[in-house]
Structure 1
Amino acid sequence: MLTSTLLAAATAPLEWTPSIGLIMITANLIAIVFAKFTIQYPNAEPALPAGNFFGGFGLPAVLATAAFGHILGVGIILGLHYLGRF
C-alpha cells in the first residue's frame, strides 16, 4: 500500500544535461567561497597530501564544503525541475 502511494507521488525522472552539471559545479564553487570566509579552522587535521591544491583546507573542511555544495546544487536542480525549467 505504501509503495503504491509513493510511486503515485513520484515525478517524471530528471535526465542529466550539461546545464545540470554546470549548476552543480557553480553550487560547489559558491560553497567553497562561502567556506573560505566562514570556517573557523579550515586547516584542521588530518591534513591533505596537497593542501595548497585544496585552498589550504584540511580533510574535514573539504568534506564539509563538498557536502554543502552538493546539497545546495541538488536543491537548486530539483527546485528548477519542480518549476518546469528542466
Structure 2
Amino acid sequence: MFAPLLAVAPATITWSPKVALVMIVCNVIAIAIGKATIKQPNVGLQLPNSAMFGGMSHGAMLGTLSLGHILGIGTILGLASRGVV
C-alpha cells in the first residue's frame, strides 16, 4: 500500500546560471512588492548604502528577501518539474 508513496521523490536539480537567474529575478520582484506594500520601510537599523536598496531598513530587506527566496524555491521547483531549468 505504501510502496507507490515511497517511489515518489521531488525533482532535484543542480545549481546552474539559469537557476541563479531565476532566484535573482524572484528576489527583485519581492523587493518591488515590499517597496510598494510596506508602510514604513525605512524604520529601524539602516543598511550601509540604503540608497542602493531603495531606502529600506534591515528588517524590511530581510523580510522581502525571505519572501523572494520562498518565491524562488517554488519557481525553480516548478520550472524543474516542467523541464525548463
User: TM over 0.5, yes or no?
Assistant: yes
Could you list the runs of 4 or more consecutive aligned residues of structure 1 that deviate by over 4 angstroms after TM superposition?
none
Structure 2 residue ranges without an equivalent (≥5)? none
Could you say which residue in structure 2 is the equivalent of 1:72? 71
Alpha-carbon distance in 1 for matches of 2:15, 2:35: 29
Root-mean-square deviation over aligned CA pairs: 2.0
Instruction: State the 1:29 CA deviation.
Output: 0.8
Could you say which residue in structure 2 is the equivalent of 1:41? 40
**Would you say 1:25 and 2:29 are equivalent positions?**
no
| Percent identity (aligned) | 46
Moved more, 5-14 or 39-48: 5-14
Could you say which residue in structure 2 is the equivalent of 1:55? 54
Deviations 1:34-79 (A, max 9, x none): 1111111100112222221221001110000110111111110001
| Structure number with higher helix proportion | 1
Q: 1:34 is matched by which residue type in structure 2? A: I
Moved more, 47-56 or 14-23: 47-56
Structure 1 residue ranges without an equivalent (≥5)? none
